[in-house]
Each structure stands twice: as structure tokens, then as C-alpha cells.
């Protein structure tokens, strides 16, 4: 039953998606972040990004890694994680080297800053923006405008409890 | 499609987070970690090794989310365990989980390290990072094809004098596969020779575990650093020998000293880029009860040792100095180290303003030393980025670092003469191959060979032949020897002459720039296999053309100067530096090509000399190097050593130049 619903959802999304394959980097159009919807299937991702360099199973996820030429060879330029159980795209991580200015993606009114372990003595900070469709956009190491990020993550909000359990996202 | 593994998600299970073929030395430390999945309750745990009950060594179960799912999981640890009896030991664990009996077992191979036959020998392990056979060949074809007084030292296919590493009597080949891929990186290959066991990409002396999914999917950062550092550790040979036999230990590298290849001698981490943690472990090593990992550390990458470069603001340089280490930052200071100084920290390059990076686990810059080509002041070919030494104009060559490391380690300490184990790495053979910079790569390999010469000379002068020298690579890279080039200097160094080539195929577009010095690379470099977004190579694997139409134009640089089957290389030697130069009349350069800009899965050569060298013959797994070094230190090898000596008897065929 669930699979049928999922297939239906993907088929419904397909015409819209085919008109706008996700780019390697997000962009802003009319205030909206244009990137992955996180409803894309593996086939749609492969069509847009080509075959991944590395595919590996990590826990309940399958990761697809892409090695773009603009990132040090130790790190993938993109990591996409799909849930093993239902194939849903759970998140996309984009690594930048050197760090990238992403201020345009994080308008102040829609953005919150978070610090680990606390704001007084942070070991790491990030900016977070909630996007339509239950998605969140995170800029690691970039708590405020003017601080470029080495890593941008787009993730289903429901997955935060797994990958960022310390984050308390404001409603 | 994705398989729904409902049963796998709900069935209770228990497993050792250890590889199927765990191989250890007697007494080598390893973390025994048990993962219990899908369990609300756990009772009746029993763990045995060869029938001996180890249960009491395990911590109480700790609830830990494994596999990034929502099930209830537990982890039990018995850290830093060892097996004192050699042989095959069956490790068994059993428990009752939610009323269901579960169990797991591993057969651990424990190899003898017999302290009663301990030979008190030294080991010098040379790692040419990415130095596959083509790299050795290139270094030979450049540094041993020297024209002097009208005569080339490479004539009729023979060299007057081979490389230092070529002259070592025993050779073999090492297979470099990781536990999760055929093309490895410097971390898991280093784990193989340093600890004797294979692991996953980017792992430094640890095995995979159930929490890796968090940081491998979302990236390592300060918030998930504990999960990066919780993997089961396996002790490396450097700490093993220091802990059990008071060996002195050292690392020498042209990379940042916290880079993966040096790190495998002194640190333990799931992710090679945990630079701050790796530097901390050099200062307070977990296998040595918090003592420093090394007596000698020489290389680049000062940032993670400086308070300003660290999130914890510890001044590790100051801490090393307080422990009696002499701290040096230039070649001049290194040369001036007084005899009798037994511990040295030399960091020859760093950032002007060190800072932690924004993930909180590394530094903003990982500053490697400059490569030999640039330290020598040679002009870069047109296609290679011109480099600046910045303010670091007095960086030592690798051969000087090797010489001083041997002097310091070989002299022993205040506790008397002690044997040592040293790793020497030429890091930028690899680092220059990634951007396909041939000159940088080849001259670094020559520098590497000179440092091997320093060690061979040092060992040969010792009254007792007590030093094993092993030369190998961590993995191969994609360079090939493809011929010779007559490209004149005005083409080779011109940064104004280049041709931009763009063409579209049914499968995609290829765009790249051809320079006068690398005309041949246009063909050798096609097609790259990656999904690069950079303009020079945005076609990816699917854009490979079946054929490449050769075009000529008025802007086509050096269009007819490359030959596969005609001619020999010819270089001139700079007598002052002892290195070949890359410019001048009459020069005929080696032509090489890079198939990609990345590692490959080819096996790499191993060469050895000294007591126990005979063990390094034939095809071997990279992890065998660890056990062979250990065997050479703990056994009487005289029978085999005599056989190797026989090879120099003139009754047997001798290679020209050897």
C-alpha cells in the first residue's frame, strides 16, 4: 500500500520535476530556493547528476557520492542519502572548497542560528532555514551573514533527529 | 529498487564490530566492541576468547542509536584488549535479547612476536605517496638520463646508475585494496601497513561501526565528533613497539604532519580530516597512556598544534617543548640541532593566521610543505600553477629531514641506545598528481629517492647490520610514461600560448585547455572519469568520445614535438643542488600523461634491504607489510639474509647500473 502511494506521488511529481532538474548548486528565484525537492527518485537524480562515483550502504540509508573536480579528493562534492526502506531522498550535502558565500539563500527573517554545544563557547555553528515541503537548509560553520560555509545541507526535517539530534528547530 | 528489510529492522542481533579476518600480533591492542540491535533488554552476556571468559572486561551496555534508524540498540565495549597466545583464537559472544538467544563469533589470527628472540633492529619505512611503477620510472628517466660532456648516462636502453631504491636487492608487489573499495586512499592503505588490517576509505587505524552512518552521511563536525572517534581501534606498530619494547619512533613527511599517511603512525580516527584530534593524539596517545606518540616529528602543518588553530585553545607546541622537545621551524634550525637532542618537533610551514575550520574538527588550512621543484626554485611549466614559498623560504629538503631524523633517533636517548622505527613520506608525489602537475610530481619522487640514499648510506655505515629499509607506496595514481618531447623552452614555459578545445558529442561536451608543455596530455588526459563541474572537464564519464579528432591551428602549441617510439630523454644536472634541471638547450623531456587526476587500484612496488628484507618478495597484501616488519624484528633472519647476500655474488647475473 505504502509503495503504491509513493509511486503515485512520484508519478505526480514527475512532470513538474522533468521541467526543472535540480542543479548541482542551489539558486534563488523570486525569493525561493531552487534546488532539490527531496521527492526526486534515484533515476531522476542520475539523469540530472550522472552516475555517482561511490555508492555505499550506511545504516538504514544508501549514500551516493559525487566527486566534483572543485573539491579536495578526500571529500565528495555531493552526498545524497536515500532511505533504504522506501527509496526516499532524505538529504543532499554539498561540500565547498573553498568555503562558499551562501547569504542569498538565508534571508534574515527566515533564518535561525544554532551553536554546538552552546552559544557561549561554540565549537561549531550553523544557519538554518525552513523550506516548503518539510525541508530545511543548513549552512555548517556559517552562523551569520558574511561567513562562508564549507558545507550546505538540504534535509527532510524529519531526519534531523538522526543527523542533528542537538538541533532545536524553531517553529 | 530498494529492498524493504522489515525483518532485518526488527530481529534482535548481536555482532562484533570487527572484520572477518582480524589479524593481530601477540599483545597488540584492539577495542572489542559488541553491537546489539533491536533490543529492549539484554541479559546473560558471555564473551570468550579461546575459551577464556572476557565478559567482565566489557562495559555495561550503553544505549546507542545504530544504523540511523529508530530501533533500540546497545553497545558494549572492552577497550584496548590483547591476546598473548599466538594462533587462531575463536572470539565468541552470546546473550539473551528480549528473550531470544543471539550470538556472534570471529576467528582472530594472532601472530607470534617473540620477545625472547627480539633482534633490537631499526626499521625505516619509506612511503612514496602514490608512487606506482610509472612514478619510479619517471624519476629514473629524468634523474638518471643526464648529459655531461656530450654523454648521456642513459644510453642504448641502459642506465649507468639506477635509482637508490632500484639498487635495493629484494622486490615485491603490494595489493592495496581497502575493505570497501578497490581504489583506496592514504588513510586506509596506511592503516593496512601500520596496523596489519584493512579498513574503509578515510579510516585511520579503526574499523567500521554502526554509528558511522551519522557522520558519513552528514559530514563530520564538532557535534558528531564523538561518533567519528568511537570506532574500534587497532594499535599500530609504532605504538606497539614503543609501548612494549621502548622503541623510539618518528615520522618525517613533506605533507602536514597530521595528514593521513603520517597520521596512521600515531592516531586513531574514523575520519582522516579530524586534524585537531590527530594532533592531540600525537601529544597524548591513547595506546601509550597519554604519552607522546613520537620522539621525532618533522614536516608541515603547524596550525593544529597552535592554540589559535584549535577549538580547545591548547598550545600543543608549548606542551611538546615542556616535555623536552626541541622545536624548529627552518632548515637552518634543523641543521643546527645539537648532538644529544633526543626529541624534536619540526614544523616547517603553517598559516600566518591559524584558525579552526568552521566544522570545528580541523583547521582552516592544512598547510603542506612546498614541493621539491619549488624549493629548488625551478620554473614551472606553463600548465602547472606557479607556486610561492610565501614566507617559508628556508624549508628543508626531504633528504635533510631524513638525515636529521636518523641522527636523532639513531643516537638513542638518555636511557641509552634504543632501536627505532621511522616512517618517511614523500607526500606530494600524490598531491601533485591530483592536478596533473608532472614536474612537481617527478621532482618530488627524485627528492624521495635521495632521502632513501641518505638512509641506505646511514645503515651501511653501522657496525652491525641492524636496520631494515622498506620502500613502497600507499596506492598508485594514474600517470603513464608515454614517450619523449622535444618541446622547446619557449613553448614549454609560455603561459600565453594555449589552445582551448571544445567539442560536443551526442553524450555530452568536452572542454579543456592545451598548453605547450602538455600537448600530449590532451590525448592521455581524455577522457577523464569524474563528474566534475569545473569548466575544463564537465562532461563526466558519459561524455567520453570514442575518438578524438586531431586538429592543428596557428595557435596549436608544440604540435609535432611529441614522440612515442623515437628518442631518449636528456637532462642536465645542476651540480650545486644535485638535482636535474628542467630547462636549457639540448633538453629532451620525458612525456607523461595522466589518465585521471586520482588514485587507481593498481598494485604498487615494494623494495627492501637489510635484515629480514627477503620477507618482502613476491605479491603480498598491503597488511602483510606490517607483519613482515614485525617478523624481521622478532626473529633470527640470518638464513634468509645470507641468501639475499648471495645475489651480489658475481656468478649471478647483475643488472646494469645496480
Q: Do B537 and A153 touch (CB under 8 A)?
A: no
Q: Is the pLDDT of residue B560 over 80?
A: no
- The 3-class SS string of B567-607 reads CCCEEEEECCCCEEECCCCCCEEEEEEEEEEEEECCCEEEE
* Mean per-residue pLDDT, B211-216: 92
Q: Which of A39-48, B203-212, B337-346 is predicted most confidently?
A: B203-212
Q: For B353-363, what is each residue's pLDDT tens digit?
A: 999 999 999 99
Q: Is the pLDDT of residue A141 over 60?
A: yes
Q: Do B311 and A61 touch (CB under 8 A)?
A: no
Check residue B539 and give its pLDDT. Answer: 36
Task: Kindly state whether A145 is in contact with chain B, defined as any CB-CB distance less than 8 angstroms.
Answer: no
Check residue B617 and give its pLDDT. Answer: 97
**What gap in Å lies between CA A5 and CA B626, rounded to an integer?**
54
Check residue B520 and give its pLDDT. Answer: 46
* Residue B317 pLDDT grade (very low, low, confident, very high; cuts 50, 70, 90): very high
Contact predicate B135/B441, CB 8 Å = yes
Q: What is the mean pLDDT of chain A?
A: 84
The alpha carbon of residue A90 is apart from the nearest alpha carbon of chain B, in Å, by: 10
User: Considering only alpha carbons, which residue of chain A is nearest residue B598?
Assistant: A73
3-state SS, residue A48 = helix
Nearest-10 crossing angle of helices B622-634, B237-245:
20
* Residue A103 pLDDT grade (very low, low, confident, very high; cuts 50, 70, 90): very high
Check residue A13 and give its pLDDT. Answer: 41
Of B389 and B2, the one with more pLDDT: B389
CA B455 to chain centre: 19
* Mean per-residue pLDDT, B328-337: 98
Of B383 and B13, the one with more pLDDT: B13
The alpha carbon of residue A74 is apart from the nearest alpha carbon of chain B, in Å, by: 8
Q: For A75-99, what is each residue's pLDDT tens digit?
A: 788 999 999 999 999 999 999 888 8
Q: Is the pLDDT of residue B509 over 90?
A: no
Task: Kindly state whether A81 is in contact with chain B, defined as any CB-CB distance less than 8 angstroms.
Answer: yes
**What gap in Å lies between CA B231 and CA B210, rounded to an integer?**
9
Of A1 and B61, the one with more pLDDT: B61
Q: Is the pLDDT of residue B594 over 70?
A: yes
Main-chain phi, psi angles of B418, to 5 degrees: -130, 145
Task: Kindly state whether B5 is in contact with chain A, defined as any CB-CB distance less than 8 angstroms.
Answer: yes
* Mean per-residue pLDDT, B37-64: 96
Contact predicate B180/B19, CB 8 Å = no
Check residue B339 and give its pLDDT. Answer: 80
Q: Is the pLDDT of residue A40 over 50?
A: yes
* Mean per-residue pLDDT, A99-114: 95
Check residue B323 and give its pLDDT. Answer: 97
Q: For B141-174, what is each residue's pLDDT tens digit?
A: 999 999 999 999 999 999 999 999 999 999 999 9
How buried is residue B433: exposed, middle or buried, by Cβ count under 10 Å (0-12/13-18/19+)?
buried
Check residue A21 and give its pLDDT. Answer: 59
* Mean per-residue pLDDT, B595-613: 92
Of B486 and B459, the one with more pLDDT: B459
Q: Is the pLDDT of residue B519 over 80?
A: no
**Residues of chain B with C-beta less than 8 angstroms from the C-beta of A163:** 68, 214, 217-218, 224
Q: What is the mean pLDDT of chain B?
A: 89
The percent of residues above 90 in pLDDT, for chain B, comes to 75
Closest by alpha carbon to B568, among B132, B133, B151, B135?
Answer: B151
The percent of residues above 70 in pLDDT, for chain A, comes to 82
3-state SS, residue B454 = helix
| CA atoms within a 13 Å half-sphere pointing along the CA-CB vector of B607 | 20
* Mean per-residue pLDDT, A148-167: 93
* Mean per-residue pLDDT, B233-249: 97
Q: Do A68 and B273 touch (CB under 8 A)?
A: no
Q: For A59-75, what is each residue's pLDDT tens digit?
A: 889 999 887 755 555 67
Check residue B544 and give its pLDDT. Answer: 36
Q: For B265-279, what is each residue's pLDDT tens digit?
A: 999 999 999 999 999
C-alpha cell at B471: 620502500
Check residue B414 and give its pLDDT. Answer: 64
C-alpha cell at B24: 593481530
DSSP assignment of B124-144, as one string?
EEEEETT--HHHHHHHHHHHT
Check residue B543 and give its pLDDT. Answer: 36
Q: Is the pLDDT of residue B281 over 60?
A: yes
Q: Which long-range contacts (CB under 8 A, 24 or more apart) does B533-539 make?
A: B533/A24, B533/A68, B533/A69, B533/A70, B533/A77, B534/A68, B534/A69, B534/A70, B535/B511, B536/A69, B536/B511, B536/B512, B537/A69, B537/B510, B537/B511, B537/B512, B538/B509, B538/B511, B539/B507, B539/B508, B539/B509, B539/B510, B539/B511
Q: Is the pLDDT of residue B541 over 50?
A: no
* Residue B508 pLDDT grade (very low, low, confident, very high; cuts 50, 70, 90): low
Q: Do A93 and B533 touch (CB under 8 A)?
A: no
C-alpha cell at B368: 603542506
Q: Which of A105-109, B4-8, B52-56 has the lowest mean pLDDT?
A: B4-8
Q: Is the pLDDT of residue B342 over 80?
A: yes
Residue among A53, A79, A141 whose CB faces B358 most closely: A141
* Mean per-residue pLDDT, A116-126: 92
* Mean per-residue pLDDT, A31-58: 90
Residue among B5, B219, B533 whose CB faces A24 most closely: B533
Q: For B74-84, what is each residue's pLDDT tens digit?
A: 999 999 999 99
Q: For B38-48, what is each residue's pLDDT tens digit?
A: 999 999 999 99
> What Rg value do the Cα atoms of chain A yield, rounded?
16
* Residue A18 pLDDT grade (very low, low, confident, very high; cuts 50, 70, 90): very low
* Mean per-residue pLDDT, B196-209: 96
Dihedral angle over CA of B477, B478, B482, B485, nearest 10: -80
Selected residues 88-127 of chain A with any CB under 8 Å from a CB in chain B = 91, 93, 95, 99, 116-117, 122-125
Contact predicate A54/B531, CB 8 Å = no
Closest by alpha carbon to A61, among B302, B212, B529?
Answer: B212
* Residue B525 pLDDT grade (very low, low, confident, very high; cuts 50, 70, 90): very low
Q: Is the pLDDT of residue A43 over 80?
A: yes
Q: Which of A114-118, B369-373, B408-412 has the lowest mean pLDDT?
A: B408-412
Q: For B301-314, what is each residue's pLDDT tens digit?
A: 999 999 999 999 99
Q: Which residues on neighbouring strands pair with residue B618, listed in sequence order?
A: B172
Q: For B609-655, what is each residue's pLDDT tens digit?
A: 999 999 999 999 999 999 999 999 999 999 999 999 998 898 999 99
**What gap in Å lies between CA B274 and CA A72, rounded to an integer?**
15
Q: Is the pLDDT of residue B553 over 70?
A: no
Check residue B132 and give its pLDDT. Answer: 98
Q: Do A77 and B217 touch (CB under 8 A)?
A: no
* Residue B533 pLDDT grade (very low, low, confident, very high; cuts 50, 70, 90): very low
Task: Kindly state whether B540 is in contact with chain A, defined as any CB-CB distance less than 8 angstroms.
Answer: yes
Amino acid at each position: 500500500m505504502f509503495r503504491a502511494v509513493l509511486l503515485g506521488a512520484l508519478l505526480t511529481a514527475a512532470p513538474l520535476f522533468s521541467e526543472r532538474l535540480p542543479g548541482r548548486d542551489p539558486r534563488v528565484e523570486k525569493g525561493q530556493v531552487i534546488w532539490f525537492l527531496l521527492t526526486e527518485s534515484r533515476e531522476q537524480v542520475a539523469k540530472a547528476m550522472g552516475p555517482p562515483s561511490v555508492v555505499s550502504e550506511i545504516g538504514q540509508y544508501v549514500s551516493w557520492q559525487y566527486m566534483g573536480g572543485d573539491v579536495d579528493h578526500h571529500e565528495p562534492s555531493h552526498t545524497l542519502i536515500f532511505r533504504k526502506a522506501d527509496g526516499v531522498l532524505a538529504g543532499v550535502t554539498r561540500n565547498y572548497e573553498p568555503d562558499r558565500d551562501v547569504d542569498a539563500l538565508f534571508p534574515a527573517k527566515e533564518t535561525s542560528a544554532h551553536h554546538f554545544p552552546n552559544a557561549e563557547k561554540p565549537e561549531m555553528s550553523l544557519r538554518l532555514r525552513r523550506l516548503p515541503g518539510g525541508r530545511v537548509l543548513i549552512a555548517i560553520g556559517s552562523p551569520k551573514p558574511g561567513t562562508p560555509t564549507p558545507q550546505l545541507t538540504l534535509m527532510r526535517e524529519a531526519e534531523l533527529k538522526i543527523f542533528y539530534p542537538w538541533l532545536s528547530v524553531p517553529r | 529498487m530498494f529492498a524493504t528489510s522489515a525483518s532485518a529492522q526488527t530481529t534482535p542481533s548481536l555482532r562484533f564490530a570487527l572484520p572477518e579476518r582480524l589479524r593481530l600480533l601477540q599483545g597488540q591492542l584492539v577495542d572489542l566492541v559488541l553491537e546489539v540491535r533491536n533490543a529492549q533488554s539484554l541479559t546473560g552476556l558471555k564473551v570468550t576468547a579461546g575459551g577464556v571468559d572476557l565478559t567482565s572486561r566489557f562495559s555495561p551496555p550503553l544505549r546507542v542509536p545504530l544504523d540511523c534508524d529508530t530501533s533500540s540498540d546497545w553497545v558494549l565495549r572492552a577497550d584496548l584488549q590483547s591476546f598473548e597466545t599466538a594462533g587462531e583464537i575463536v572470539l565468541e559472544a552470546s546473550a539473551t535479547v528480549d528473550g531470544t538467544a543471539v550470538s556472534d563469533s570471529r576467528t582472530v589470527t594472532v601472530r607470534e612476536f617473540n620477545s625472547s628472540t627480539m633482534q633490537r633492529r631499526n626499521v625505516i619505512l619509506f612511503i612514496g605517496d602514490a608512487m606506482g611503477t610509472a612514478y619510479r620510472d619517471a624519476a629514473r628517466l629524468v634523474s638518471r638520463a643526464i648529459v655531461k660532456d656530450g654523454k648521456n648516462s642513459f644510453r642504448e636502453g641502459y642506465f649507468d646508475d639506477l635509482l637508490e631504491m632500484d639498487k635495493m636487492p629484494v622486490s615485491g608487489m603490494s595489493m592495496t585494496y581497502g575493505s570497501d573499495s578497490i581504489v583506496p586512499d592514504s588513510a586506509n592503505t596506511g592503516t593496512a601497513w601500520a596496523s596489519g588490517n584493512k579498513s574503509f576509505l578515510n579510516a585511520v587505524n579503526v574499523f567500521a561501526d554502526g554509528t558511522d552512518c551519522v557522520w558519513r552521511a552528514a559530514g563530520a563536525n564538532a557535534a558528531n565528533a564523538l561518533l567519528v572517534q568511537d570506532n574500534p581501534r587497532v594499535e599500530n606498530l609504532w605504538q606497539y613497539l614503543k609501548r612494549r619494547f621502548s622503541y623510539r619512533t618518528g615520522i618525517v613527511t613533506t605533507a602536514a604532519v597530521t595528514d593521513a599517511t603520517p597520521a596512521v603512525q600515531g592516531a586513531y580516527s574514523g575520519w582522516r580530516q579530524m586534524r585537531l584530534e590527530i594532533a592531540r593524539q600525537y601529544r597524548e596517545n591513547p595506546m601509550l597512556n597519554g604519552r607522546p606518540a613520537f620522539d621525532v616529528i618533522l614536516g608541515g602543518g603547524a596550525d593544529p598544534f597552535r592554540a589559535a588553530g584549535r577549538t580547545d585553545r591548547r598550545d600543543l607546541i608549548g606542551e611538546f617543548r615542556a616535555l623536552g622537545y626541541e622545536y624548529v621551524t627552518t632548515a637552518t634550525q634543523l641543521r643546527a640541532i645539537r648532538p644529544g637532542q633526543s626529541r624534536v618537533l619540526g614544523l616547517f610551514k603553517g598559516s600566518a593566521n591559524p584558525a579552526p575550520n568552521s566544522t570545528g574538527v580541523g583547521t582552516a588550512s592544512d598547510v603542506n610543505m612546498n614541493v621539491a621543484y619549488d624549493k629548488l626554485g625551478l620554473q614551472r611549466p606553463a600548465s602547472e600553477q606557479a607556486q610561492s614559498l610565501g614566507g617559508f623560504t628556508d624549508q628543508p629538503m626531504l633528504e635533510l629531514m631524513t638525515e636529521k631524523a636518523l641522527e636523532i633517533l639513531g643516537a638513542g636517548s638518555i636511557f641509552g641506545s634504543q632501536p627505532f622505527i621511522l616512517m618517511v613520506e614523500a607526500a606530494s608525489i600524490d598531491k601533485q598528481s591530483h592536478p596533473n602537475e608532472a614536474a612537481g610530481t617527478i621532482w618530488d619522487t627524485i627528492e624521495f629517492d635521495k632521502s632513501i640514499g641518505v638512509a641506505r648510506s646511514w645503515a651501511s655505515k653501522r657496525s652491525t647490520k641492524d636496520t631494515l629499509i622498506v620502500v613502497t607506496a600507499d596506492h598508485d595514481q594514474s600517470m603513464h610514461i608515454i614517450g619523449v618531447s622535444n618541446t622547446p623552452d619557449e613553448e614549454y614555459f609560455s603561459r600565453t600560448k594555449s589552445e582551448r578545445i571544445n567539442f560536443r558529442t551526442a553524450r555530452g561536451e568536452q572542454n579543456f585547455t592545451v598548453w605547450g608543455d602538455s600537448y600530449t596530455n590532451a590525448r592521455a588526459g581524455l577522457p577523464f572519469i569524474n563528474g566534475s563541474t569545473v569548466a575544463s572537464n564537465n562532461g563526466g564519464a558519459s561524455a567520453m568520445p570514442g575518438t578524438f579528432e586531431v586538429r592543428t591551428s596557428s595557435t596549436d602549441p608544440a604540435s609535432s614535438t611529441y614522440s612515442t617510439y623515437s628518442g631518449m630523454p636528456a637532462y642536465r644536472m645542476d651540480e650545486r643542488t644535485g638535482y636535474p634541471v628542467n630547462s636549457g638547450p639540448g633538453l629532451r623531456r620525458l612525456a607523461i600523461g595522466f589518465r585521471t587526476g586520482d588514485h587507481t587500484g593498481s598494485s604498487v612496488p615494494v623494495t627492501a634491504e637489510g635484515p629480514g628484507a627477503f620477507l618482502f618478495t613476491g605479491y603480498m597484501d598491503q597488511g602483510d607489510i606490517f607483519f613482515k616488519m614485525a617478523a624481521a624484528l622478532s626473529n633470527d633472519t640470518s638464513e634468509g639474509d645470507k641468501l639475499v647476500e648471495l645475489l651480489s655474488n658475481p656468478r649471478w647475473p647483475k643488472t646494469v647500473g645496480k
